[in-house]
Amino acid sequence: MYVTSEPIAPDADFFSAPQSTGRVLPDRRVAMGQHVFREGDTVRQIYQVKSGVVRLARLLEDGRRQVIAFGYPGDIVGFPSLGCYHSDCDALTDTVLRPYRRQVLEDGGGDPALHRFLLDAALKEISAMQDHFMMLGRKSAFEKVASFLTALCARVGTGTDGHYTVKLPMTRGDIGDFLGMTTETVSRTLTQLRKSGVIEIDHVNTVVVMNPEGLIALASGEAN
């Protein structure tokens, strides 16, 4: 999941791959904290997240980390770059993945429908990545955190009485490395959002959006 300019709620087409004629492997279960793959490994499989959440990240030469994306149910992770994975991927929760053989990206002859599905997923990722880069370069801290929470609400939020509850399996440090902010700035921004009545924070890892319209306005810069 990237933070996009227009978060899109999941739909059936995005979550359901076509029935394969032999390129889909048995589901892979990954325990919390375990790696799915590592940067530089040869790509033999790509994965669709069926349940759980994964984190994609890269380390700079000086040891600093950039979180590239979070993989939520329906997301495809592990697209090859020159035949290799271009990031590490580990599980933030117990996760179930649906593997696909890499060859399905290279020849659609065996399963044209699945080939097209994965190609569309790759194009969606490129578009979302471009939106995310724009957000990193142009938005303020408030706008970044509000955009992040808005995107999560659209993907995995549960609504009750006009409020939305979102689980955060990632740490504040993960969020900071994803949004180009320090951990302290993320924590301070969440506290300010809580004090303003836009959100409530329940047991650190659960955010309740009390004012969805206000959060969207902050995300777009209209409340500044």
Examine the pLDDT at 172 and tell me if it is beyond 80. yes
User: pLDDT tens, 194-217?
Assistant: 999 999 998 889 999 999 999 999
Measure the CA angle with vertex 91, ends 193 and 94; round to 5°.
Answer: 95
CATH class of 139-220: mainly alpha
Residues forming CATH 2.60.120.10 domain(s) in the chain: 12-135
Q: Given this model, what pLDDT does residue 206 score?
A: 94
pTM: 0.86
Phi and psi of 75, rounded to 5°?
Answer: -75, 150
List, by residue range, all CATH 1.10.10.10 domains of the chain. Answer: 139-220
Give the mean pLDDT of 166-193.
95
pLDDT in the model for residue 13: 43
Query: Model confidence over 115-157: pLDDT tens digits?
Result: 888 888 888 888 888 888 877 778 899 999 999 999 899 888 8
Provide the H-helix boundaries in the chain: 12-15, 103-106, 112-138, 141-156, 172-179, 183-195, 212-220
Residue with tokens 């900071």: 176
Q: What is the pLDDT of residues 26-38, one digit of tens each?
A: 999 999 999 999 9
Q: Which H/E stretch holds residue 50? A: strand 45-51
The reported pLDDT for the residue numbered 133 is: 80
CATH H superfamily, domain 12-135: Jelly Rolls (2.60.120.10)
Q: Is the pLDDT of residue 20 over 60?
A: no
